[in-house]
Structure formats: C-alpha cells, structure tokens
Structure 1
Amino acid sequence: MTTISRTTAAGVRPDVLSGDRTAFIDRWIYVFTAASFIVIVLLGFIPDSLGKMAAVQAGQRPPFPWVLHVHAALMGTYMLLLLTQAWLVATGRVAQHRLLGAVGAVLAAALVVVGFILIPTIYHQAFAGAQAAPPPVKAQLAQLVAFLENITLVQGRIGIVFAILVILGVSARKTNPGFHKRMMILSIAGALPAAFDRIIWIPTTMPVRPLSSDLYVLLAIAPMFLWDVFRNRRIHPAYWVWLAVVAPFTIAVHTLWDKPAWHAAVKWLMGV
C-alpha cells in the first residue's frame, strides 16, 4: 500500500513545518526574554542616569558614590552574560555555556554583596544631605529619605530573592536543565522594578505603593510563561518554586510599605 503525505506548496509536510516552528520558539524564547530584560533596563536607566549626571554637573546633587558605579557595572555585565548564556544554549554551544557558568556564579555573588553595601550608602548620603540642608530644602529631602526607607523594602527583597533563586538554579544545572534555565531568568526578573520605576511614561502606583512595578515584572516574564503553558499544557515547576520564594517577601513589602514602624526600624538599622 502506498501512503501519500499531504504537503505544502513548498513540498514540506504541515506537521514538520509546525514542529520546526515549535522547536525554534523552544530554543529562542529564553534569548528573547533575556534580551527584553536588557531593553527594559536601558529604557529605565539611560534617561534617569543622564538626568542625574546633569544634576551632578550643575551642583544640584552630590556625586555618585563609587559603589553605585560598581553595582551598575556588575549588573550590566551579569545581564549581558545571561543573554549570552541563553544564546549559547539556543545555538547548541553547551560546552561554552557551562564554562561561562562559573563566571556567572561569581558575578551573582558579587552583585548581592555590592547591593547590600549600596543600600546604606545611598541612604546615608540622602540622610546627611537632609540634615545639612537649609530649611526650604530640608522638607523636600526629608520626603526623599522617607521614600528611600520604603525603597529599602524592595531592594532587600531583590537581594534576598535573587540569591535564593540563583542558588536553586545553579544547584539544578546538571540534574534539571529545564528548571535551571528558567530559574536563572526568573532570578533576575525580580530586579526589574528598579528599571520600571524609572520609566516615566508608563502608569505607576509609586511612590504610594509598589504594586505597578510588581505587575510589570509579571508582564515581562509573561511571554516565557505563556509559551511554557501552551507548549507543555501545564505550569512548569520552576514557576511554582519562584512563586513560593517571591510571595512571602512581596507580601512583607506591601504590608510594611510606609508604615511608621518600618520607618523607625530603618533608622535603627541604619544607625541614625
């Protein structure tokens, strides 16, 4: 018996064509997600940084502390490495991907350490400026200090959650590559609020509450998540783990945001 396969005009079977498209998205969805994170960061930080540099040159604000430059360099390098790692896997260069993995682990550890140095550095700079400012400016800077006290909640969450998720992701690199690649991307997604809060042309709930930036993070990971659900007909365990880690800290952020007890706690922690 002869079986005649249906083909397209190009002579390619529809199921093969569909399979090629699926395989293509399977490979490149992570590259797309990592690249989109970089675009988000650039949209937020480039205009903000240019404005702040102009203010420094005009003598309207103090120079950036050294640790801020280090943090920016580390974060930029890490995000470029994340994109490179996703691209290496998508193009089948697994050996190079594994080789760069050690560099990523060192960068991640450095990011956490520098991040927790940066938080009190920025706070003390603003607090000292508020104390030394003349009366007309003092009230404005006091509001800035109060805002920074709220922001420490988000910054602390970013640092802790990032460290936990990176450890989980790195631990699974040999035993569960699917969990590993998703977790490494989800780990850096938690840092995107810092960029979203600086994009002045999108709707925001800040400084009243940080709800908008949390929702934008969900939007940023939506393409990867939705493709996973469509492709596998289920939610991958990596997302459940991510939710279990992120949810308690997010609830804490929204519960403590702008509460007098939290402001007092930050002042005590900062020794002011």
Structure 2
Amino acid sequence: MTTLIDRNSTRAIASSRARYFYFYMALSCMAVAFLGFAPTYWLPLATGSFPSMPVIHFHGMLFFVWTIYFAFQTWLAASGQVARHRTIGMIGVSLATAMTIFGFFAAVDAMKRSAALGLTDAGIAFAVVPLTGILFFAVVVALAIANIRRPETHKRLMLLAAIAILDAAVARWFLTFLAPPGPPGPPPVPVTIAPALVACLLLVAAIIFDWRTRGRPHPAYIYGGAALVAVKLLNWPISVTPAWHSFAGGILALAQ
C-alpha cells in the first residue's frame, strides 16, 4: 500500500511539473526580454535619456506586454482555467496583429534612420533581420491559432513564437558586455546569428523536456525549430542579394 501511495505521489508531482512547464518557460522568455533590454532601453527610458520616435516606444511596449500576456495564458492553462484561457485568447490575436504591424513600422523607421546617417545600404541589408523575424512570428502564431483544438501542438507553437522574437533582447547582452562601442548605424547582419542561436537554447530545453516526458520531440519543435534556425542563418546571404535590396529599398522609398 505504501509503495502504491509513493508511486501515485510521484506521478502527481511529475504531472504537476509537466503542466507548469510552459508557464516556467513563459516566465523565462519574459525574464530574457526584460533583462536583455534593461541596459539599453528600460534604464535609459526610466532616466529620460532614451529619445526616440513614438513608434519605437509603442513597438517595445507591445512586445513586452506580449511576454506578460503569454505568461498569464500559460498559467491559466496550467491551473486548469482552460475556459478563461480561451476567452481571452482573442486579446492575443489582437496583440500579435499589432506587434506584426508595429514591428514592420519599427524596421522601416530603422532603415530611415540609417539612410539619414548616409548608411542606406547597411540599413536595407540589416532590415532583413527584423522583417523576417516578425514574419516568422506572425506565421507561427497563425498556425498556433489554427491548431487551437490541438492543445499539444498549439502550446508548442506559441512557445516557439515567443522564443523566435527573443534574439533582439539577447543581442543587447552581446552589445553591452561583449562588443566595444562602435560607430552609429546598424550592425552587420552576421553578428545577429550568435544571439539568435543563444535564444534557441530555450527551444533546446523544451525539446529535452519533450524527450524526457513523451519519449520524442513534438513535430512542432522539429519542423518549427528547423525553420527558425534556417531563417536566422539565411538572413546573412539574403541580405546581400540585389533582390533583397530592391525589395527593401522599395519599401524605404515609399516610406520617405
């Protein structure tokens, strides 16, 4: 009898950990986003030393609110409040839509600022990073919504979307602690690859958790993770192609 109780207790603890795993992962994403931008955005903003266009501030606030919303949604699901989780799901749809729109505006604003510095080509090349990033986020969130009745797929796609937009926060760590102060203007596209791969370590943790709890990684992680890494790696060769410069340059010309 004691052995049976012990086994049931162990299973209950394991089940609880599994249910709250996505909540803990969401908290990790929120911590990475906040700490990553703390030295270059939050602290300067608090001291009034971060002048910028309103679109940049709104873009930043939307993306950080997303991390809070994602953490709250995963907590609702883990605590069994599935009906409430679904009820406020439309907020997430609206928020992700606004993030996509203002992510695009922020990328265009960055190109305009680069052009004002006489670095038009560098700004156009770098624009591939935020534009493909927000496109990947939007596509994965759309797929998650399409799979809302398949919770195992839905929650993994939502986690993948959250991880996909963390490379900018991680890049701030690199700039603050590893990179010496450089000239104004966008960084070279190749330097964005390392922060993106560091952010993907959260995805590796999720894959390991899947392996331990279900014996194999979920297809959403396999195909979605492969697509995410491919996007981050391909940004570099794409950024130097005439086709990209024609496309992004056309967007810049329309915005000026």
Q: Return the TM-score normalized by structure 1.
A: 0.79
Counterpart pick for 1:96 among 84, 101, 126: 84
Q: Residue in 1 aligned with 2:170? A: 196
Q: Which amino acid aligns with 1:229?
A: W
Q: 1:248: how far off?
A: 4.7
Matched, 1:216 2:198: yes
Q: 1:122: how far off?
A: 2.2
Gaps of 5+ in 1: 132-141
Q: Which amino acid aligns with 2:163?
A: A
Gaps of 5+ in 2: 180-186
Equivalent residues of 2:238, 2:244 under 8 A apart: no
Counterpart pick for 1:179 among 146, 153, 176: 153
Matched, 1:115 2:98: no
Q: Residue in 2 aligned with 1:70? A: 58
Q: 1:262: how far off?
A: 6.9
Matched, 1:250 2:247: no
Q: Separation in 1 of the partners of 2:17 and 2:205?
A: 11
Counterpart pick for 1:6 among 3, 7, 16: 3
Counterpart pick for 1:162 among 137, 162, 165: 137
SS in 1 for 2:173: coil
Q: 1:154: how far off?
A: 1.5
The range that moved more, 219-228 or 235-244, is 235-244
Q: Deviations over 1:81-120 (max 9, x none)?
A: 1000000011111111011101101111111011111111
Q: Separation in 1 of the partners of 2:107 and 2:21?
A: 33
Q: Residue in 1 aligned with 2:69? A: 81
SS in 2 for 1:235: coil
Q: Separation in 2 of the partners of 1:192 and 1:108?
A: 15
Identity %: 23
The range that moved more, 108-117 or 208-217, is 208-217
Q: Return the TM-score normalized by structure 2.
A: 0.84
Equivalent residues of 1:146, 1:263 under 8 A apart: no
Equivalent residues of 1:89, 1:97 under 8 A apart: yes
Q: Deviations over 1:151-207 (max 9, x none)?
A: 311111211111111111011112x11100111111121111110100146668x74
> Counting helix residues as a fraction of each chain, which structure ranks higher?
2
